[in-house]
Structure 1
Amino acid sequence: MKAKREIWNYHNKSGVWAGKYRNSHNLPHWHTDCELLYVNSGTIDIFCGDVAMTLKQGQACFVEPETIHYMHARSTDTVLSVIIFSYGIIEGVMGGKVLSSPRIDRDHGIGSVYNLVKAELVGRQICFEQMVCDAIRDLFIRIVRSEPTSDRKKETSTSGQLRKLLDKINDEYADITFDEACRFMALEPAYFSRYFRRNTGMSFSRYLTFTKVDNAVRLLQKGELSVTEIALFCGFDSIRTFNRNFKELTGYTPTDLPKNFDMTEYFVHSDDTFDPTGKETALIE
């Protein structure tokens, strides 16, 4: 999955979604909604904005709207509860404040709130939307009373520009050079490299390669172009370079790619290593 803006379309009027994942892995993404992550079991690395954290059972992370974030479970039995909801639900509670850190170590009953929210969303009894929103508001009242907060600051132009750059890369099939990206961000090359890696978990060149291969996978599955045509269309300078990068990032050659292969089932562990045999994230609830 390339870094991108996610758009949530809720199937109810509450503006809330809840689900539980096993072995959660994803690449950088963002959305206009809030996201509350709670570790039921295991250990997971979460990267939220420029904050990196390792969470264990009973710990949580709150992701503010428009914040680029991603995560990698450290074991296949790691289970993560997720509640995604409209910021409007807690806007009055926050009162212009933000949590000083996205990491939440204290026990605020987040696990119990998730269970209530999930049960209400599934059961859909009368006034379930009100029950769900009230539960989330009550939870955040407890959180802001005991967790450090600070005044909400206006978003920096750099963070907003990074999201635009990622959109540009995705929309233009990675047809952008490092120098062009630096100019787009109005940053010096050395600082841009550090900033990009800190916020996406990989180097700029690695992200471009991943994007190119992701696009190649989609074109191969359509079956309308030859492998050579796809390699050139996706920006590779030679079929040899294309084949090498494709095999590294998917575990397959272009001609052996399974028809149902999906890049979202695989993940980059770091800038230099990739595990094509990693089991996909499973939505278990």
Structure 2
Amino acid sequence: MEFIISRTKRSFEFNMANSHWHPWYELFYLESGHCRLLINHTLYYISPGDLCLISPGEIHRTTYYSSPVNERVTLSFGKEYLAPMEEQCGTQMTMHLFRNPRISIPEGRQAYAEELIKRMEYEAAGQDGYSGVMMQNYLYELLIFLSRCQEAKPEPVKLPVAEKAIEEAAEYIYHHYASQITLEEVAERIHMSPAYFSRKFKAVTGFGYKEYLTNIRIRKAADLLLTTSRPITEIAVECGFGDGNYFGDAFKKIKGVAPRVFRKMKGIV
């Protein structure tokens, strides 16, 4: 995947239509507004000056609130884009750059980060044959800058009680997706009525309960399809799908193709 940079404005009424995970890295910097970001099962409150690092395969969804308009810059790039850095610095140091999903850039250093982003936007317009190299260099500079910002850890954000409970519920679902867990069971674990839990889970995470559970299961199934040659029906059962037909329909809805086609597209037989 090539390097892509885009600037987007969202209203607080915007809702991401589909759940979201992908095989590339995504960085987004919030210039204005406020949003909540769920990554896998953890909630982050994002404010202007925060930059989020989302690794390949991580389920995430953004919900906006309070501000009429939110502006963000998104940088997307494939794993291969980091190959030269891995060769020079080693895999461990390169992956260490992504150790924290949310980074609060100190107020006095935000201008530096924003200048790097503007330079990447300028080169993305295709100034000349050197633009690709310049964009890559600016990206490396930004990643190293962000890594150094992480050394000064900010105070952890204390979530409201109800939202902390929802985060705990998401974590439980995330780790128990293979079981036949129900909405009622999870609601009881966090001492909420099923109806209230259902509404609150959607409001806080952006996901419906069943949608979140299905996406966790499909993500795991997709990984097994790519990394093993096990029968599809066996994978479906292991990932919590009791019905093979339902698994196929759910997989196609989320990934766009049937499980067997997905496996062949990736060269797995």
CA 1:87–1:110: 2 relative to 1, 3 Å: farther
More moved, 132-141 vs 102-111: 102-111
Deviation at 1:73, TM superposition (A): 2.1
AA at the equivalent of 2:24: D
The answer to whether structure 1 residue 58 and structure 2 residue 41 are counterparts is: no
Partner residue, 1:77: 69
Q: What does residue 136 of structure 1 align with?
A: 139
**Map of 1:227-238 to 2, 5 A cutoff?**
none
* Partner secondary structure for residue 83 of structure 1: strand
Offset of residue 207 of structure 1: 8.6
Indicate yes or no: 2:97 matched with 1:105: no
Whether the 8 Å contact between 1:113 and 1:139 is mirrored in structure 2 is: yes
Query: Displacement of 1:21 after TM fit?
Result: 1.0
On the 8 A contact 2:63/2:206 being kept in 1, the answer is no
Equivalent residue number for residue 234 of structure 2: none
Does the aligned pair in 1 maintain the 2:63–2:205 contact within 8 Å?
no
Question: In the alignment, which residue of structure 1 is the partner of 2:82?
Answer: 90
Counterpart selection for 1:117 from 116, 120, 124:
120
Q: 1:80 to 1:185 in 2, by over 3 A?
A: same
Q: Which amino acid aligns with 1:78?
A: N
1:61·1:102 contact (CA, 8 Å) conserved in 2? Answer: yes
Deviations 1:64-119 (A, max 9, x none): 11111111222331111111112333352543435332011024633222211111
Instruction: Answer with 41-50 or 90-99: which moved more.
Output: 90-99
Q: Return the letter of the residue paired with 1:79.
A: E
CA distance in 2, matches of 1:60, 1:200: 20
- 1:46 and 1:54 in contact (8 A); partners too: yes
Q: For residues 126 and 72 of structure 1, do their structure 2 counterparts lie closer, same or farther at Cα, with a shift above 3 Å needed?
A: same
Q: Deviation of residue 41 (structure 1)? A: 0.8
Equivalent residues of 1:99, 1:147 under 8 A apart: no
- Counterparts of 1:39 and 1:127, CA distance in 2: 28
Give, in angstroms, the shift of residue 53 of structure 1: 1.2
CA contact (8 A) 2:97 2:143 kept: no
Counterpart position of 1:22: 9
TM-score (normalizing by structure 2): 0.51
**Deviation, structure 1 residue 141:** 1.6
Report SS of the residue matched to 2:19. strand
Distance 1:110 1:87, change over 3 A: farther
Determine the C-alpha separation between the residues in 2 that align with 1:146 and 1:186: 38
Deviations 1:179-224 (A, max 9, x none): xxxxx94224159958x9698732117999xxxxxxxxxxxxxxxx
Alpha-carbon separation, structure 2, partners of 1:110 and 1:73? 23
Three-state SS of the structure 2 residue aligned to 1:78 is strand
1:18 is paired with a residue whose SS is: strand
Aligned to 1:31: 22
1:213-239 CA distance string (max 9 Å, x none): xxxxxxxxxxxxxxxxxxxxxx9xxxx
**Alignment equivalent of 2:129, drawn from 126, 129, 139:** 126
Unaligned runs of 5+ in 1: 1-9, 149-183, 209-234, 236-285
Count residues with an aligned counterpart: 164
Question: 1 or 2, which has the higher helix percentage?
Answer: 2
User: Hey, what's the Cα distance between the residues in 2 that align with 1:121 and 1:205?
Assistant: 35
Structure 1 position 129, deviation (Å): 0.5
- Paired amino acid for 2:127: R
Amino acid at match of 2:78: S
Change (3 A) 1:206 1:40: closer
| Higher relative contact order, chain-length normalized (CA < 8 Å, sep 6+) | 1
CA RMSD of aligned residues (A): 3.7
Unmatched 5+ stretches in structure 2: 152-175, 188-197, 215-245, 247-269
CA displacement 1:44-68 (0-9 Å, x = unmatched): 1111111211111111111011111
Instruction: Write the distance in 2 (CA, Å) between the matches of 1:33 and 1:206.
Output: 20
- CA distance in structure 1 between the aligned counterparts of 2:59 and 2:181, rounded to whole angstroms: 21
Change in 2 beyond 3 A, CA 1:206/1:67: closer
The change in CA–CA distance for 1:125 and 1:63 in structure 2 (over 3 A counts) is same
